[in-house]
């Protein structure tokens, strides 16, 4: 895949980039390794000052980087501005909290004595150079949610970004440089996917984190496993959105529209499968379908646009295959189901609701990465839980209910990294984020995320004779 900015709103190639050669990759690896030896000795106050300056710059440049993201991958510019603001917030959160999150831990006096020690403690030390393989759908946020904790922990980062967002990738490296981080603390590598293995196998790279597709995750995990290197993977999702009989149907349906089409429907944590109790099914589906059909599809640079184009022509083709397969096998398109007739350029797809989906349809098992929702009718709590878990993925989930019994059951039985009640899934720097099953492993954000790439070091001092 060429490294290029291709505007998905019209298919125009705006700028292309040459991939880095072997000599330049080697130079950057050497710089990263050397920088780590110095940067790891900095204190939290110095790191926090640097990260705070990066947040200031990002806020000042919010409008410009938002337009760059929209140009490269098609998200509505309103959402792009919100993404930039969220990144600045996360930077400040880690700048303020990293020292406490990574504070030394001390066992009790009795535990120290029982361990035969005079003193004992646990320390969190940076692990080294971390390779980040990142996707295009949240081209700023996905990187910052790795970079902010990694840099605050004393690590350095190498970014291999998606090939269709090169200008956003280069902006990130420049941002950290202008904020004052030492050369080599955070570098963007404009390389193809074929270069990842060599970089990951290099002895100077300590670990890797990947957000992306399941095949990409399998590949990186396999290479890292062969090299015995730590990985964190955040892969696909086919999140359930469960509406039980006691739910506020009006609010649930309104929120469902946003939950499905956020980022043009191209989000791992977007709700995709809408599982509705039979008592409220008709009322919910009527409102949900009307809301999806009323969305404004068009130029993502327009402030009034709700849904822009998909990021690539192949992405739209993949989505069309899933919908066509479902309809061919008997599903019904309650709205949408094709390309908008009034938009003959760009990779647009009409917001779609499919009913009558069955287990023999591909869309029942595969992630639909675009503004397409499937709705299911269930008779009771048991059927809702079973259907919610009937997926190879387990990233997050949404449940609408006023019943304490329902809440306890979903908390206990849902197979996902999160369950959000009476609202839609969202990420926040204070809350851990990640999944189970084929959605990956490890956690980002919060204290869990910053500790993923730390050497958790036990320090033990022998007791003196007679102690």
Q: Which residues are catalytic?
A: 234, 268
- Which residues neighbour 200 within 8 Å (Cβ) at sequence distance 6 or greater? 131, 208, 220, 223, 224, 227, 229
Structure tokens at 1: 């895949």
| Contact between residue 361 and residue 329 where contact means Cβ atoms under 8 Å apart | yes
| Contact between residue 187 and residue 28 where contact means Cβ atoms under 8 Å apart | yes
SS3 138: coil
- Which residues neighbour 80 within 8 Å (Cβ) at sequence distance 6 or greater? 65, 66, 67, 69, 70
Structure tokens at 310: 């998909």
DSSP 218-277: HHHHHHHHHHT-EEEEE----EEEEE-TTS-HHHHHHHHHHHHHGGGG--TTSEEEEEEE
Dist. CA 387–CA 389, nearest whole Å: 5
Dist. CA 260–CA 23, nearest whole Å: 44
As a whole number of Å, the CA-based R_g of the chain is: 23
């Amino acid at each position: 895949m060429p490294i290029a900015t291709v505007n998905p709103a019209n298919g125009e190639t705006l700028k292309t980039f040459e991939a880095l050669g072997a000599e330049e990759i080697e130079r950057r690896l050497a710089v990263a390794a050397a920088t780590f030896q110095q940067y790891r000795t900095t204190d939290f106050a110095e790191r926090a000052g640097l990260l705070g300056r990066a947040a200031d710059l990002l806020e000042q440049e919010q409008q410009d980087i938002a337009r760059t993201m929209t140009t490269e991958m098609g998200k509505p510019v309103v959402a792009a501005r919100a993404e930039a603001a969220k990144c600045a917030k996360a930077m400040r959160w880690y700048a303020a909290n990293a020292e406490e999150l990574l504070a030394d831990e001390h066992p009790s006096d009795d535990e120290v004595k029982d361990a035969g020690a005079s003193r004992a403690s646990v320390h969190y030390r940076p692990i080294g150079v971390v390779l980040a393989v990142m996707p295009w759908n949240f081209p700023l946020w996905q990187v910052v949610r790795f970079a902010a904790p990694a840099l605050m922990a004393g690590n350095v980062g190498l970014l291999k970004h998606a090939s269709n967002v090169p200008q956003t990738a280069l902006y990130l490296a420049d941002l950290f440089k202008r904020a004052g981080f030492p050369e080599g603390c955070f570098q963007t590598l404009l390389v193809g996917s074929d270069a990842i293995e060599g970089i990951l196998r290099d002895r100077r790279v300590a670990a890797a984190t990947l957000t992306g597709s399941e095949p990409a995750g399998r590949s990186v995990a396999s290479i890292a496993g062969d090299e015995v290197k730590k990985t964190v993977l955040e892969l696909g999702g086919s999140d359930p959105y469960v509406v039980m009989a006691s739910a506020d149907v009006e609010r649930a349906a309104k929120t469902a529209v946003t939950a499905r089409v956020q980022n043009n429907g191209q989000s791992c944590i977007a709700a995709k499968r809408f599982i509705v109790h039979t008592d409220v099914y008709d009322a919910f589906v009527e409102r949900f379908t009307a809301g999806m059909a009323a969305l404004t599809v068009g130029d993502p640079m327009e402030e009034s646009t709700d849904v822009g184009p998909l990021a690539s022509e192949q992405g739209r083709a993949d989505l069309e295959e899933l919908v066509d397969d479902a309809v061919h096998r008997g599903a019904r398109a309650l709205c949408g189901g094709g390309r908008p007739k009034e938009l003959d350029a760009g990779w647009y797809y009409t917001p779609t609701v499919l009913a009558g989906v069955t287990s023999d349809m591909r869309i029942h098992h595969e992630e639909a990465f675009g503004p397409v929702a499937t709705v299911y009718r269930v008779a009771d709590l048991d059927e809702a839980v079973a259907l919610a878990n009937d997926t190879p993925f387990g990233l997050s989930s949404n449940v609408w209910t006023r019943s304490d019994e329902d809440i306890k059951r979903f908390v206990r039985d849902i197979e996902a990294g999160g369950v959000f009640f009476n609202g839609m899934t969202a990420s926040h720097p204070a809350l851990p984020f990640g999944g189970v099953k084929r959605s990956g492993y490890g956690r980002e954000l919060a204290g869990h995320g910053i500790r993923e790439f730390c050497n958790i070091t036990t320090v033990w001092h022998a007791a003196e004779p007679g102690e």
